Structures are given as C-alpha cells and as structure tokens.
C-alpha cells in the first residue's frame, strides 16, 4: 500500500505535536497549562489560514 504525501499543514501539525511531546518529556517544570498555551500559540496560524480558504 502506497502512502499519500501529507499536506503541508498536516505535516507542520505533526511536527509541532511531536516537538511539544518531546519538550514535555524533557521538562519537569512544564505544566499542562504551559504546554497547552504553547501549542495554541503555535497552532493559531495553521487554523487561521484554513478559515480563510
């Protein structure tokens, strides 16, 4: 079965989530609230772009 290439937005979302997970694993001081706030900040441009299509 051949894999379909991911759309740029999907690929970017995947990388943001992987980075956030890794940062959470490495940082004992990061709270869930901090992680969600950072994710929301990084994801905002992706969702804004999709709403304007």
The token pair at 7 is: 């759309």
pLDDT, the chain, mean: 78
| pLDDT tens string 24-41 | 777 778 788 888 888 888
pTM of the predicted protein model: 0.55
Q: Say if residues 7 and 44 touch (Cβ distance below 8 Å).
A: no
Quick count: other Cβ atoms within 10 Å of Cβ 28? 6
pLDDT at 23: 78
């Amino acid at each position: 079965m051949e894999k379909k290439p991911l759309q740029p937005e999907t690929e970017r979302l995947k990388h943001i989530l992987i980075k956030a997970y890794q940062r959470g694993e490495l940082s004992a001081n990061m709270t869930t609230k901090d992680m969600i706030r950072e994710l929301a900040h990084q994801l905002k441009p992706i969702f804004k772009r999709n709403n304007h299509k």
